[in-house]
Structure 1
């Protein structure tokens, strides 16, 4: 009897080791190396078809000039915001991974999408976490058409692919990849080996049979996709559905996309009829009070291929603690510490004895540097207890030398602000538009001192 081979794989970076060890020597993470059994190799059947993958055609070597360059036609999901994140729609034969925290609405948005697509094409919804009765109850509660969508309750990847070959769907949903298993792997569903091999099997099936597959993935407590890191490498598109429990808005963000732009953002609102797309998210994030308060300012950030207006709030107050607090929500805390040092050195403002709290309204996470100047303006406004103009927008990157650096797509940001009624903008000098924008006064600055003088 052949001896079963075992290997040890890091669940964070996917590195393999000959024996178990407490720390991964590649990514330096602790307690992430787990054991899994390597499936035994099987002899390839006659005709050269790859073993273990039913229905796969024989591979053929081609030169690049022999490859058919005709672009595969995309098909719409029925959601404009979903299509935007995917790069314009679903590509046939693509493997898409959508993650999110429990209750974010992953299954809801996919059920809505599949019920709409079932009206015009052959679809298959595979659920491994719920029964078919639960899926049908949700679809009925959301008022979705249920007479066309084909459903299947199964967790065996081989069985799912065999049934998919018979049904020939154009798009298939796997909910979720963490409960799927392959029969020749001995470890439990959700383990490193099962998730990796199941995802690789489904991805290969999608490529060979031109079936678009959407896999649902769980997330860890720090918000990253659970499972081995190689899971994100083998798929074509990785998107994350984010949203706090106390907010009805959900953001769909693209982290990887082989068919479109990354960091694209789609905004949805959770209602009693499921997720509804928000075509103008800036109007939601700019839902401000009547009275203007110190420390509040609107900035223009860039998400994927479009500008987005959001409000940043800052509160600077005298601290009773020996070590004043620095709290950020929606912004990077290290960035705040750096900007406070720049403000002290080049702006002459000392806040070492002050508590600093920063919040981005609406639960938006800002990762780009164009929010630097707006954040400093909000901090100074709160410290001086002096309100800023309600019709003012600010954006720009602040360097360590106190210089104001340009940011990409400055013209588009200003046009978006003008469309929402803003009449004054403070921008980097290099982002000053060549053509005048009707109804907007634009102040171009090159240093932090110039910006503070224009603001206050």
Structure 2
């Protein structure tokens, strides 16, 4: 029989240690060393059935390989629908609406086949009350309140559901592992068993994962590598809107987003995200500009708002919402150099309305444009957009997918756009009903605005 050795592994970085430590020596995180039972060796017997390989040409894909719902935007985030035998990890802060969202999804999937909702945190009555409130009344939806893995697997074998929700993986434990629930060993063992069952029986799984106070997935990083798709549920708890974003997807493109509004009677899908982000703008705006950003496979228009004011104290403020603070420091240095203006004595506020975070470098020029407008009190037309990445020398670099971005602006009625001169050749033969203002560097932008 294999010898058992106990060891401790950091749930943040995976560092292993033979003794328990309060602080991880590798990543300096406190309280992340969890006990794990390690098997030194595994001996396979000759009686085990051999798993046979298949020729690629002999593998057939069913026509109904994906399960679809009435939430078309969410199906697009998944790559066209929920792929059979896929395991999707759902993350998000507590109280943001993960359980309500998943219950509404199961109501859609259960219209055609049996579904199973397994909760280790709530009782059946609590789930029933929520289902009644959001008008979930499917006859093929089963509810199970259980935390033991062996009982969960037995119920899945009995009901043979098409889609299963595990809420949450941190509450599930196996009696074969001598450690507490939510430990690295328990999460890894339970996840492996569920993934194995999904692939063998063609069952789709939604697994809910808790997050830490920093917004990262709690538990071993290995969990994100094991599943087929990772979806984060983002948004402010006090706001009605939620952003569903895919950060990993083996069956589709990554960084796709869809937007939902949370209401008393359930969730409602926002059909056009671009109109959602720019719907409340006035005809003329100071310190506000639109940038078309690539999110996965589509273009979404975001608004960038800035406010610049003189500091009242010795140390100026930098309040940033939805943008990389380090990137803003670089852009402020570029702006100070080419405008001959010392912004180190000003309070600067940057906000991306809607609770979204912009990570694309093509929004550099838009941020600079917004700051100049705020500093000089220059109003910007609501029908003007800006695209472009800025280098340290103040030059504008070519932007990828420029045709898709400009076409989205045309579709939503924009009359003008500022963009890099490096993209002129790509667009010069296109007949577009929009004025294209090409710029080589930031100095040209300052001259045109003045």
TM score, norm. by length of structure 2: 0.93
1:223-282: CA deviations, max 9, x gaps? 111111111111111110111023111000011111111111111111122111111011
SS of structure 2 residue aligned to 1:198: helix
1:447 and 2:433 correspond: no
CA distance in 1, matches of 2:67, 2:376: 54
Q: Is 1:83–1:89's contact at 8 Å kept on the other side of the alignment?
A: yes
Alignment of 1:269-308 (within 5 A): 269-290=261-282, 292-308=284-300
Please point out which of 215, 223, 226 is paired with 1:223.
215
What is the deviation of 1:349? 3.0
What is the deviation of 1:390? 1.9
CA distance in 2, matches of 1:241, 1:289: 26
What is the deviation of 1:41? 7.9
Tell me the residue number matched to 1:5.
5
Please point out which of 53, 62, 65 is paired with 1:62.
53
CA distance in 1, matches of 2:261, 2:50: 45
How well do the aligned residues superpose, as a CA RMSD in angstroms?
A: 2.3
CA distance in 2, matches of 1:455, 1:426: 11
Greater shift, 173-182 or 160-169, is seen at: 160-169
Distance 1:347 1:64, change over 3 A: farther
Q: Is 1:347–1:448's contact at 8 Å kept on the other side of the alignment?
A: no
**Unaligned runs of at least 5 residues, structure 2:** none
SS of structure 2 residue aligned to 1:173: strand
Tell me the residue number matched to 1:55.
none
1:358-391: CA deviations, max 9, x gaps? 1011111111111110001111111111111221
1:247 and 2:205 correspond: no
1:102-121: CA deviations, max 9, x gaps? 12111111111111211101
SS of structure 1 residue aligned to 2:286: coil
**Unaligned runs of at least 5 residues, structure 1:** 49-57
Q: Is 1:415–1:437's contact at 8 Å kept on the other side of the alignment?
A: no
CA distance in 2, matches of 1:78, 1:200: 31
SS of structure 2 residue aligned to 1:199: helix
CA distance in 1, matches of 2:58, 2:217: 34
CA distance in 2, matches of 1:106, 1:81: 17
SS of structure 2 residue aligned to 1:5: strand
Please point out which of 158, 161, 186 is paired with 1:166.
158
What is the deviation of 1:122? 2.0
CA distance in 2, matches of 1:68, 1:289: 52
Alignment of 1:251-400 (within 5 A): 251-290=243-282, 292-400=284-392
Distance 1:66 1:387, change over 3 A: closer
What is the deviation of 1:190? 1.4
Greater shift, 97-106 or 285-294, is seen at: 285-294
CA distance in 1, matches of 2:62, 2:392: 46
Q: Is 1:97–1:216's contact at 8 Å kept on the other side of the alignment?
A: yes
CA distance in 2, matches of 1:224, 1:321: 34
CA distance in 2, matches of 1:423, 1:39: 66
CA distance in 2, matches of 1:29, 1:355: 33
What is the deviation of 1:441? 0.5
What is the deviation of 1:198? 1.1
Q: Is 2:283–2:382's contact at 8 Å kept on the other side of the alignment?
A: no
Please point out which of 115, 121, 132 is paired with 2:107.
115
1:154 and 2:146 correspond: yes
Tell me the residue number matched to 1:403.
395
CA distance in 2, matches of 1:66, 1:419: 43
CA distance in 2, matches of 1:340, 1:12: 34
CA distance in 1, matches of 2:384, 2:433: 13
Q: Is 1:13–1:230's contact at 8 Å kept on the other side of the alignment?
A: no
